[in-house]
Each structure stands twice: as C-alpha cells, then as structure tokens.
Copies of this chain bind each other. A is one copy, B any other.
C-alpha cells in the first residue's frame, strides 16, 4: 500500500480525490488536511464520504508522512508549500495553476502575483506528457478548461491543420468551487447562460501555451457558465489552413484515432454521435467528436469531460498511477453516470 495525503481536502477537488482514492485498490489515504476544519470528521464536509475514519488535521507540509501528496490548494498557496513537501521525499501532484507555466512571466501576468518557487514541474496531461510525468517529482495538474480544450484540438495542432482556433466552452458550476458567491447563487444560474471573462480568462494563456507551442496558430477562448453541476462541454471552431483546405472530415477523424487510439480515457465518437456530458459525469473519460467542416472552411470539434474528474482529481489520480508505475486506469475504470 502506498500512503497518500491530501492537502486542502475540504473543497470539491479534495472531495473527489477522496471519493475515488477510497475505492483505489493500491493506495491508502492516511492524511487529509485543512486549516479551517481541524479536528472535523470528513463526512461533516463531504456528506457522501461516510465511515472513512478520516479527520481533517491542520498539519504543516513538512509534517506530512506520505509517498504521494496531492495539493488541492488555491493558486498562490501551492507554491508556498510544495517545496517543503518535496523535501519530505514525497512526490507531489499540485492541482493549482502555480506550476503549469513554462514562462514565469506569463504566470505572473495572468495570475497577478509574483511566482516565488523554483521547483521543476511537468505539465500533467498524460496523453501528451506521459514520458516526462514518469520521471517527475512534481506534476502540475492541468486546468479544467485547458484539459477539454487541448484534448479537442491537439491533433490539429500537432499535424498543422488549422491556423486559428476559437474555443467556446460551457462549464458546470462546481468549477467555481465550494464557496457560495453571487456567481453560484442558484437563481442566477438556473435557467440561464452566463458568459464571463469573455476575452480575458486566465485559462486562455494555459491553452495557448499548449496549443500555440507549435507556432503561429491564433487561439481564442470564451467560457460560459451553464446550469450544470459538473462537466465542461467544449466547442472548438477551427479554420483550415491553406494546405489543408481540401481535407475531409473522415481524414480528420482518422488523425484523431491515430493520435488517441490507445488512450484508455479518450473515446472518439462514431460518425453521427454527439458527445454528452452525462456520458462522462463522475468519470475520468473524455469523449471527443464533431468532425464536421462547413462551406466556409470551419471545422467543428467537440469534447466533454467532467471538470472535477478528468479536469482535476481524476487526472491527478491518473498522474499518480503513472508516478507509481501502476496500470494507468487503476481505480478509474468506472463509467459516467448516465442518465
């Protein structure tokens, strides 16, 4: 058994880590920490996690005794504690944005704070960075929007098919976290659609880092809050570049099948099949479809993930499995909750 600790375990991503890790056959959750809920039993905060025996403790990072530590802490907080945890000898999977950026400048511009840690991290999108993750001590778990956006468009970028991508995403409200706000107030969300930060969301910079690295592609992003608890539905509108203006939908589908063919968690939809949030609800799968080109040369790609699983805690456990040399799907084989 591998010992696992979760730092900042009282939020939604902490709850999801618990939900899945407590059914994981190869690890044991030995510690969950929270500054706010020191001494409180887990089920008082996560009412579905009952009889786990776990109690939140307000522990210092350096006091943790675990082989793997998940830091489910806010942006800015992670970089203050991760170096200390690494010194205990644990491997760390950080769910904040702190270690996702290749450029410190880009981080500081979009997160509005100084970056103070030199710890080296690997961007934890296993489908792209699997080999690097294997050797890492610190994995920066990707953002939820970027996970859906990158997976839906990466084969286009890798194969140099398009010159512009507009990513129009619709997210469930759990992405805003466990704390109530005007944004998450039921009467403001239900029966409504709320675009926000329509040209300035910080996840745009993370998406651009991963999709633009191959040069010269314009990437835009607009998120919308929809009346959904979990899930990110991404519609990616791309424009075929000149060399590919005669490419067919079927050729693009084959490109995706080739790129993702062996990936356990990626499912390419059949022709005529639309990916649905409900198919991945609560699961670590990403469903990818679309593959249509209209008469203006616009290619439409679609993806769905559960923002709290593939977009956060499930992907983190996937990364853990890689770090531990386990079969990648261990503890993550459950299907989505449809309906």
Binding site for B on A (CB under 8 A): 12, 15, 19, 22-23, 44, 46-51, 164, 166, 168, 170, 172-174, 178, 180-182, 184-196, 198-200, 204, 218-220, 222, 224, 226-231, 233, 235, 237, 267, 270, 273-274, 276-283, 285, 290, 292-294, 296-298, 300, 302, 304, 333-339
Extra pairs beyond A48-B285, A227-B228 (13, CB < 8 Å):
A12-B339, A19-B335, A44-B270, A48-B335, A166-B237, A168-B235, A184-B185, A188-B339, A193-B228, A193-B233, A199-B293, A220-B294, A224-B235
Q: Nearest Cβ distance between residue A8 and chain B, in whole angstroms?
A: 17
* B-side contacts of A172, CB under 8 Å: 191
Closest chain B residue, CB of each to CB of A337: B282
B276 touches A198 (CB 8 A): no
Q: Nearest Cβ distance between residue A120 and chain B, in whole angstroms?
A: 29
A22 touches B274 (CB 8 A): no
B339 touches A187 (CB 8 A): yes
Q: Nearest Cβ distance between residue A146 and chain B, in whole angstroms?
A: 16
* B-side contacts of A196, CB under 8 Å: 274
26 A–B pairs (Cβ distance < 8 Å), ordered by A: A23-B334, A44-B270, A47-B338, A48-B278, A48-B283, A49-B335, A50-B285, A166-B298, A173-B190, A180-B181, A186-B186, A186-B229, A188-B278, A190-B191, A190-B227, A191-B229, A191-B278, A192-B276, A192-B277, A193-B228, A195-B274, A198-B300, A199-B292, A199-B294, A204-B294, A224-B233
B191 touches A281 (CB 8 A): yes
CA distance A192 to B279 in the complex (A): 9
A222 touches B237 (CB 8 A): yes
* B-side contacts of A300, CB under 8 Å: 198-199, 222
CA distance A170 to B199 in the complex (A): 18
